[in-house]
Amino acid sequence: MATSAPLITLVRGDITDQQVDVIVNAANSSLLGGGGVDGAIHRRGGGSILADCRKLRASHYGRGLPTGRAVATTAGKLQAQYVVHTVGPVHQPGLTGEAERAQSELLASCYRESMRLARELGATSIAFPAISTGVYRWPLADGARVAVRTVREAAQAPLLDVRFVLFDDAAYAHFEQALVTAG
Ligand code: AR6
């Protein structure tokens, strides 16, 4: 049986400019908006995204979306079919051993769960921001390593066009390095 390898690419820019099936939002557990990627997505996507988020809060996620999980809404006016909202962990410096691994696993889970949900939705393309590396202060070098490793492992048909959309040169350079290191 023929198989296709996933194409993982880096884009320097604003995630709300992407034309893909799924745009991933670095949300918070309230699902009701915020700054950074979250603010940009709600601004550009319009009120229907927030309306869907409110419905999710009123139904399945009354206590909010737990860290590491993902849910889908309409993409409103964005050039995408869906926004997948995921909640990254807030970085806690100084953790070691099992606690540090558990924290990293939550970040990996954001990428893995977003891709699983996107596949369920029949998506072939997905754009990720560098989850947790802004307001949630995850160091970029490590955030990039976790992102690239997890996406490599999770990429499978039909979701073969996976993009990381990096807002600035520093983020782009860290993801480039992570891709090279991952081989
Ligand atoms: N396109 C691509 N990347 C962006 C954009 C954009 N339009 N805007 C920022 N970045 P953040 P987090 C980069 O803070 O750390 C919100 O208030 C940014 O430079 O958006 O997961 C939520 O509501 C950084 O590298 O997400 C939560 O409360 C990366 O995207 C909280 O922030 C992620 O930064 C989530 O924090």
CA of 131 to the centre of ligand 1 (A): 7
Three-state SS at 74: strand
Q: Residue 107 phi/psi, 5° resolution?
A: -65, -45
Ligand 1 close to Cβ of residue 36 (< 6 A):
yes
Is ligand 1 within 6 A of the CB of residue 86?
Answer: no
Percent of the chain with pLDDT over 90: 91
Dihedral sign for Cα 34, 40, 43, 46, please: negative
Indicate the pTM of the whole model: 0.97
Q: Which residues are catalytic?
A: 38
**Is the confidence at residue 133, as pLDDT, over 80?**
yes
Q: What is the pLDDT of residues 43-86, one digit of tens each?
A: 999 999 999 999 999 999 999 999 999 999 999 999 999 999 99
Q: Which CATH code for domain 7-182?
A: 3.40.220.10
Asked whether the CA dihedral 149, 151, 155, 160 is positive or negative, the reply is negative
- Angle, in degrees to the nearest 10, between helices 47-58 and 36-45: 110
14 ligand 1 Cβ < 6 A: yes
Q: Where are the domains of the chain?
A: 7-182
d(CA 110, CA 66): 10
Please give the average per-residue pLDDT across 151-161, as a whole number: 89
Binning the chain into helix, strand and coil, the percentages to the nearest 5 are 45, 20, 40
Structure tokens at 118: 């996107």
Residue-wise pLDDT tens digits, 83-111: 999 999 999 999 999 999 999 999 999 99
Q: How confident is the model at residue 156 (pLDDT cuts 50, 70, 90)?
A: confident
CB 16 within 8 Å of CB 40: yes
Lowest mean pLDDT across 4-8, 19-23, 32-36:
4-8
Q: Please state, rounded to an integer, the average pLDDT across all residues of the chain.
A: 95
Split at pLDDT 50, 70, 90, the class of 1 is: very low
Q: How far is the CA of 167 from the centre of ligand 1 (A)?
A: 9
User: 90 C-alpha vs ligand 1 centroid, how far in Å?
Assistant: 12
pLDDT at 182 over 80: yes
Bridge partners, 8 (sequence order): 162
Contact between 69 and 56 (Cβ < 8 Å): no
